[in-house]
């Protein structure tokens, strides 16, 4: 057990303190060992099949880490992305995720997720990677997120979109041109332009 525990700790450390059960199993660790380490307090279970080494500091938003570990091809979008970029006062109650239309629907017991299907071109545009507690999180950049939110304005709320546009415009380095480029990709340029000009 001490050897197994050291191996689990190494795997967790490599993943920024968080690991999937599959990573441990691939290294020859039995699932019973993970259960025993969890019960002993050495591991904290964040979700089914996702663990964090308990001796490390807790992370600010474990839901994002769980999603990145369990659904690595997904991209954080809409209100969840606005929150990551500090462009909204809304507190997301689910993690909003983008997936290509052809991708299988993910099954996740926790955290609650809301999946949005994007065409290939719209899905691929504007993806950035942010390091969060040692875990890389795929998220749309601020400009793409604004265009997406306008595209889904009936879902997220036009007031949320306008608030986000104002917050973005007040930032140093804000680029109206970049927002319009993504609005063009998302096919909402004509509708979005007056709102961008109104928040100037």
Beta bridge partners of 44: 52
pLDDT, tens only, 85-132: 999 999 888 999 999 999 888 888 788 999 999 999 999 999 999 988
List of residues 6+ apart from 98 with CB closer than 8 A: 74, 75, 76, 77, 115, 116, 117, 118, 123, 140, 148
pLDDT, tens only, 18-42: 777 777 778 887 788 888 888 887 7
- pLDDT grade, residue 1 (50/70/90)? very low
SS3 84: helix
pLDDT of residue 2: 52
For the ranges 22-26, 45-49, 56-60, 164-168, the one whose mean pLDDT is highest: 164-168
Q: Rounded to the nearest 5°, which phi and psi values hold at 112?
A: -65, 135
- Strand ranges of the sheet holding 135-140, from the earlier edge strand across to the other edge: 113-118, 95-100, 75-76, 135-140, 127-132
- Average pLDDT of the residues of the chain: 87
**Residue 50 contacts residue 18 (beta carbons within 8 Å):** yes
Per domain, the residue ranges of the chain are 2-53, 62-198
Question: What is the C-alpha to C-alpha distance for residues 149 and 168, in angstroms, rounded to an integer?
Answer: 13
Return the percentage of the chain with pLDDT > 90, whole number.
52
SS3 47: strand
- For the chain, first and last CA: distance in Å? 62
Question: What is the C-alpha to C-alpha distance for residues 131 and 65, in angstroms, rounded to an integer?
Answer: 10
């Amino acid at each position: 057990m001490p050897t197994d525990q050291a191996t689990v700790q190494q795997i967790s450390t490599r993943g920024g303190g968080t690991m999937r059960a599959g990573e441990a199993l691939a290294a020859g660790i039995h699932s019973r060992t993970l259960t025993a380490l969890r019960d002993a307090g050495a591991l904290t279970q964040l979700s089914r099949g996702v663990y964090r080494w308990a001796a490390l500091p807790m992370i600010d938003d474990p839901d994002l880490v769980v999603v990145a570990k369990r659904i690595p091809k997904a991209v954080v979008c809409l209100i969840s992305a606005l929150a990551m970029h500090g462009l909204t006062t809304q507190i997301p109650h689910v993690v909003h995720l983008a997936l290509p239309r052809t991708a299988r629907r993910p099954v996740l017991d926790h955290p609650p997720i809301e999946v949005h299907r994007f065409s290939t071109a719209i899905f691929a545009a504007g993806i950035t990677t942010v390091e969060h507690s040692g875990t890389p999180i795929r998220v749309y950049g601020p400009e793409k997120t604004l265009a997406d939110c306008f595209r889904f304005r009936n879902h997220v709320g036009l007031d949320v979109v306008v608030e986000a546009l104002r917050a973005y415009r007040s930032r140093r380095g804000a680029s109206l041109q970049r927002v319009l480029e993504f609005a063009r990709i998302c096919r909402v340029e004509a509708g979005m332009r007056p709102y961008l000009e109104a928040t100037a």
